[in-house]
Amino acid sequence: MAEPLRIALAGLGTVGAGLVRLVETNGALIERRAGRPVRIAAVSARDRSKDRGVDLSPYIWEDDMTALSARADVDVVVELVGGADGPALTTARGALKAGKALVTANKAMIAHHGMELAELAEGQGVALKFEAAVAGGIPVIKGLREGAAANRIERVYGILNGTCNYILSTMETTGREFADVLAEAQALGYAESDPTFDVEGVDAAHKLAILAAIAFGARIDFPAVDIGGIGRVRAADIAQAAALGYRIRLLGIADCADGSLLAGGGLFQRVQPYLVPQHHPLAAVDGATNAVVAEGNFSGRLLFEGAGAGDGPTASAVAADIIDIARGDIGAPFSIPVAELEQREAADSGHRTSRAYLRFTVTDRPGVLAEIATAMRDGGVSIESLIQQGRPEEGGEVLVAMVTHEGPEANVAQALQLLEGSASLTEPPLVMRLLA
């Protein structure tokens, strides 16, 4: 019988405890598929006394998780602590420097330090795996890195944050406002007590940066992601989108500016709410589900959909990485060696063409519509449709929404700049693009 693959587990939160349950429950199945037994050798977490709903007595406990890497009875360190820096990064670096394979679900750490960790892994000839860092239990990283490896990826995009998707789809079905649904999501455990990373788009941006690197053979460039959240989306916006035949979804979108992977064009990365046509597969994705679309030049459109979080799905993705390592699959963490990844310039979004939904909150007085229309004209923006909705219950405020014809994004930016400081606007305009 082949020698067991011995793992050390750093972090025993929801996912860590879920991994222990999975290994204990499906151990025989994992052994058959991995070609060797997988054993938990040691564990570590902040609080040894906490009841996690699993029996940890069979495993050696390390109070200092950084000591896991030094253990001679460990082959793989599984990091499930979280956070871009701190103990998670120290543990990851220590594991790779000690010649241990590393498996992590930590999207923030990979988005900020993935290049460094990949170089360490390649230098030591060990695996760095992070399937669970993007879209939970959905095998989208494996799909891009292996299943679509022969394709030039034209675009990768999708719903990358379950909290935001739950909020938007619930607003859609109930007509309730953002703050009300956010409070419900927090009560149900779909949103953290501090939901900033989720609702402001940062969590989705971490995941998008990782997907873009794999899809386009580029070095991770998280600071270049154009990030926007859903906090300013109103029930009125969702209702208006529905009337136009769209649904609002927070999307992460990445592509090469010139459409050519081989030409070394600029890399475009954006996380923002979009209007998605009702016939598009992403429009039907409700609740806390994640979904990713990759468009290959030979494969066509590939859709990956499933649970984007939770102990079971995320632990399943972690275990899949462990099984790959047990089979001897090391591979380049980002599909090709780090030295061959391109340092792509951030694409200038101003040259991109799109249709846009613009919503203005204005004072209810004569001349406001003319002022907005003049700014659009002077900015070179062509208006396709315009809707005005009064809201006397809020002191005479009026919502003015419009959809533009397709045109350069720079023109929209110029038109909005002309309206800056206008006494007619009671808050900054909301801009959402229409997914093409």
- Residues annotated as catalytic are 207
Q: Are strands 430-434 and 353-354 parallel, antiparallel or unpaired?
A: unpaired
3-state secondary structure (DSSP) of residue 357 = strand
Coil/strand/helix, residue 434? strand
Structure tokens at 12: 């025993």
CB atoms within 10 A of CB 145: 19
CA–CA gap between residue 122 and residue 114 (Å, rounded): 12
Token duo for residue 200: 């402001």
| 106, 88 Cβ separation under 8 angstroms | yes
Structure tokens at 392: 């006397």
Distance, in Å, from the CA atom of 208 to the CA atom of 225, rounded to the nearest integer, reads 8
Contacts (Cβ under 8 Å, ≥6 apart) of 436: 354, 355
Q: Is the dihedral of CA 87, 198, 342, 344 positive or negative?
A: negative
Residues 6+ apart with CB under 8 A from 105: 15, 79, 80, 82, 130, 132, 133, 314, 317, 318
